[in-house]
């Protein structure tokens, strides 16, 4: 499912226009992004939690030259599925 299909599904389920569903989805994604940028955890009970994890620096290899390079540490967004989501999939 891509973003367009998700917007169509939201519009049909909530009985609203696709434009309104698109704006709502964009607003929700922006809110999650801003919260994660501040370092907060976003928990949607039954669905799951979005949080920021830390990835340590590591050594990699340049595929063109075979030369070893250092990949710097980074913060990465992560998602942990909630019980209701896990049960709904199984």
Domain harbouring 76, CATH code: 4.10.520.10
What's the domain range around 34?
1-39
Q: Look at residue 10 in the predicted model and tell me its pLDDT.
A: 96
* Residues 46 and 73 placed together within one structural domain of the fold: yes
* Residues 64 and 85 placed together within one structural domain of the fold: yes
Q: Is 0.85 surpassed by the pTM of this model?
A: no
* Residues 50 and 29 placed together within one structural domain of the fold: no
Q: 23: part of which helix (H) or strand (E)?
A: helix 18-38
Q: Which two tokens stand for residue 73?
A: 């540490």
Per-residue tens of pLDDT for the chain, all 90 residues: 999 999 999 999 999 999 999 999 999 999 999 999 999 999 999 999 999 999 999 999 999 999 999 999 999 999 999 999 999 999
* Residues 35 and 56 placed together within one structural domain of the fold: no
Q: Look at residue 55 in the predicted model and tell me its pLDDT.
A: 95
Q: Look at residue 73 in the predicted model and tell me its pLDDT.
A: 96
* Contact of 81 with 48, CB cutoff 8 Å: yes
């Amino acid at each position: 499912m891509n973003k367009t299909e998700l917007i169509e599904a939201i519009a049909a389920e909530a009985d609203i226009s696709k434009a309104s569903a698109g704006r709502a989805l964009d607003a929700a994604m922006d809110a999650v992004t801003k919260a994660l940028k501040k370092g907060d955890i976003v928990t949607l009970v039954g669905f799951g939690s979005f949080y920021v994890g830390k990835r340590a620096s590591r050594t990699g290899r340049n595929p063109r030259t075979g030369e070893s390079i250092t990949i710097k540490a980074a913060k990465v967004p992560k998602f942990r599925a909630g019980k209701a989501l896990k049960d709904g999939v199984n």
